[in-house]
């Protein structure tokens, strides 16, 4: 199964179960201008408790491995669960939308896009940068920082820095943002 076919399968299951979602992670980074290899698809999902069993059934019926227990635990803890294609090894990380203000706003701002020939709602560039700032802090990830720098370079003046800085302040990401700023040629 190709990555496009896998994404089509997962998106189809989400649509069938009527679960709101948005694409994020590496595929969103590639859409916004910075391609890097990935073996997974990251999707923020916002299922109601009654939608979750339908989603798991739909993913399973499509031939993917999904644990209902892991999905229920993710929903109750605000974590994530996976859907895996056993034949190709493709994995979808289904990340439960967090119930904080930023995550609500981020999800509301998602935009329509075509990725790998598939229509999907996708995280905005600014919200992707903010999420990557958080991920860079959680895992001390140089990869996330490189992604952010590349995305910012590609966006140039079209990037809404005021919006980013508002959330950097509210989420306590000032040190991560300063590290990014000290890496850009125009800083200083």
> For the domain 3-123, what is the CATH code?
3.30.460.40
Whole-number Å distance between alpha carbons of 130 and 90: 26
CA of 157: how far to CAs of 89, 137, 151, 153, 186, in Å?
39, 25, 12, 9, 12
What b/e string do you get for 159-172 counting C-beta neighbours within 10 Å, with b at 16 or more? beeebbeebbeebe
Whole-number Å distance between alpha carbons of 23 and 141: 20
Per-residue pLDDT of the chain (188 residues; tens, 9 = 90+): 999 999 999 999 999 999 999 999 999 999 998 777 677 899 999 999 999 999 999 999 999 999 999 999 999 999 999 999 999 999 999 999 999 999 999 999 999 999 999 999 999 999 999 999 988 877 766 788 888 998 999 888 899 999 999 999 999 999 889 888 755 544 43
Whole-number Å distance between alpha carbons of 188 and 122: 33
* pLDDT recorded at residue 31: 92
Q: Where in the chain is the domain with CATH 3.30.460.40?
A: 3-123
Question: In the chain, what is the straight-line distance between the N-terminal and C-terminal CA atoms, in Å?
Answer: 48
Its pTM stands at 0.90
* pLDDT recorded at residue 188: 37
Q: Looking at residue 37, what DSSP letter applies?
A: -
Per DSSP, what are the bridge partners of residue 80? 95
* pLDDT recorded at residue 76: 95
């Amino acid at each position: 199964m190709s990555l496009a076919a896998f994404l089509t399968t997962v998106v189809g299951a989400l649509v069938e179960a009527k679960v709101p979602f948005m694409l994020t992670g590496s595929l969103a980074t590639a859409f916004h201008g910075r391609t890097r290899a990935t073996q997974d698809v990251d999707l923020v999902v916002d299922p109601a408790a009654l939608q979750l069993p339908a989603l798991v059934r739909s993913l399973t019926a499509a031939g993917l491995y999904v644990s209902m227990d892991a999905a229920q635990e993710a929903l109750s803890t605000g974590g994530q669960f996976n859907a895996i294609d056993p034949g190709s090894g493709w994995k979808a990380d289904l990340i439960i939308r967090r119930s904080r203000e930023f995550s609500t706003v981020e999800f509301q701002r998602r935009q329509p896009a075509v990725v790998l020939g598939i229509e999907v709602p996708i995280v905005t560039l600014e919200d992707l940068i903010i999420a990557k700032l958080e991920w860079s802090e959680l895992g001390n990830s140089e990869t996330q920082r490189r992604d952010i720098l590349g995305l910012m370079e590609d966006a140039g003046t079209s990037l809404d820095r005021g919006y980013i800085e508002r959330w950097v302040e509210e989420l306590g990401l000032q040190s991560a943002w300063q590290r990014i700023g000290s890496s850009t040629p125009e800083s200083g």
